[in-house]
Amino acid sequence: MTTDSAAAAIHPLTHLTEDERLLRDSVREFSEAQIRPLVREMDEHAKIAPGLLPRLFDLGIMGVEIPEQFGGAGGTFFHSVLVVEELSRVDPSIGVLVDVQNTLVINAILRWANPEMKARLLPRLASKTVGAYALSEAGSGSDAFALQARAREDGDHWVLSGQKLWITNGNEADIFIVFATINPEAGYKGITAFIVERGMPGFTVGKKEDKLGIRASSTCELLFADCRVPKASVVGEIGKGYKVAIETLNEGRIGIGAQMLGLAVGALGHAVKYTKERKQFGKAIADFQGVQFQLARAATDVEAARLLVYNAARLRDLGKPFLTEAAMCKIFASEVAERVASLAVNLYGGYGFVKDYPVEKLYRDAKIGQIYEGTSNLQLQTIAKNILT
Ligand SMILES: Cc1cc2nc3c(=O)[nH]c(=O)nc-3n(C[C@H](O)[C@H](O)[C@H](O)COP(=O)(O)OP(=O)(O)OC[C@H]3O[C@@H](n4cnc5c(N)ncnc54)[C@H](O)[C@@H]3O)c2cc1C
């Protein structure tokens, strides 16, 4: 390879291809025009605005990686990450709705479902149906494989009983990936993933949580009382649900990194704009070096978070190991989101503390990044294991 062609083959991590740029720009435009005006109302009512969901489907971002033959966009994992970042810049609640759809639900089906299940579910998920991913329970969060939900065999059905907690998209979803054990004595080797559809007898969506942040994103309890699902509802193999969960969550946490990155970009954007407009002591507060240095540090944080998130996503698309990088991007981006949103509140002064301005919401929204899809301690555990072995 000549020096010139070697140089041409090397791209900065933040270099976007034409396709990636077009996607990012279209989601940015959509978010500003169609989501921004609804953010406050959705946060107050803790509900996605009616009419927004179909528009997300029309934009093609609810089935980013679904192959075109099933009506999807035929994109990459990196495309999903760009979409989640751009949506979260404006509203992290919409970011996580789309993130769970793509990086957990569709991802699990693409990787683990048989051809019949793919043909049955993917066209719906690409065009009109929201999905949810139900692993956590009241007694099993970090220790997810201590789950208690049971699946009992009965003729050509499995019968599910138990409860799930904290399930994102619970209010909007029609297709649920539910993890239950077929044999508690077998430990993690009993865990199996099932498709459960809204309306199946014995399945109800329970209480919706009233949350600190990402309030428009629904978080619900799911209840199973002898819910009969056909044998063809098993995703992947019986007893291999733990693999489905581990592999999808490893990738999903890059999506949460992207959500937190987008949030930080949004908060920094508000802070820059406001400090250039707000005058104290006869000049814009952005003219004070103390403020400039705070903004500069936040911009550096955001750039570092972006490099970690993009690198983890690109490694995943290249089929290279990405586990440690995914954990690093999630923990770092979620801390950056909290720091930058907090700074934005500070720089808005009193106006940062009230709901008429956008930054207090981002500050509340940031907290979840350190909790779901593996708390920060669990990410540190993954990173430490890698360094120490
Ligand atoms: C808004 C929201 C949306 C969610 N969406 C979903 C969803 O769609 N699907 C789903 O299945 N789940 C979902 N969850 C659940 C989420 O993944 C869990 O809340 C998370 O994994 C933590 O579990 P826990 O709440 O039981 O906390 P715990 O596991 O009880 O942890 C409590 C504290 O103990 C620490 N801790 C636990 N074990 C260790 C350890 N070994 N070493 C060091 N520290 C430890 C944790 O870091 C944490 O600080 C959601 C949660 C929320 C709040």
Residue range 327-386, pLDDT digits in tens: 999 999 999 999 999 999 999 999 999 999 999 999 999 999 999 999 999 999 999 999
CA distance 19 to 26: 11
Angle (CA) 236-194-376 rounded to 5° is: 85
Reading the chain (389 residues) residue by residue, the pLDDT tens digits are 555 566 667 889 999 999 999 999 999 999 999 999 999 999 999 999 999 999 999 999 999 999 999 999 999 999 999 999 999 999 999 999 999 999 999 999 999 999 999 999 999 999 999 999 999 999 999 999 999 999 999 999 999 999 999 999 999 999 999 999 999 999 999 999 999 999 999 999 999 999 999 999 999 999 999 999 999 999 999 999 999 999 999 999 999 999 999 999 999 999 999 999 999 999 999 999 999 999 999 999 999 999 999 999 999 999 999 999 999 999 999 999 999 999 999 999 999 999 999 999 999 999 999 999 999 999 999 999 999 99
pTM: 0.97
CA distance 96 to 6: 38
DSSP 103-115: IIIIHHHHHHS-H
Task: Give, for ligand 1, the residue of 371, 373, 381, 382 to mutate: max count of ligand atoms closer than 8 Å to Cβ.
Answer: 371
Q: Is 373 considered catalytic here?
A: yes
CB-based contacts of 237: which residues, under 8 Å, 6+ apart? none
Alpha helices by DSSP H, 39-154: 39-45, 52-58, 77-90, 92-99, 107-112, 115-127
Cα-trace Rg, the chain: 21
**Distance between Cα 188 and ligand 1 center (Å):** 18
Ligand 1 first shell, C-beta below 6 A: 100, 133-136, 141-142, 166-168, 211, 219, 368, 371-373, 375, 377-378
Task: Give, for ligand 1, the residue of 136, 164, 242, 383 to mutate: max count of ligand atoms closer than 8 Å to Cβ.
Answer: 136
Residue range 191-235, pLDDT digits in tens: 999 999 999 999 999 999 999 999 999 999 999 999 999 999 999
**Distance between Cα 71 and ligand 1 center (Å):** 34
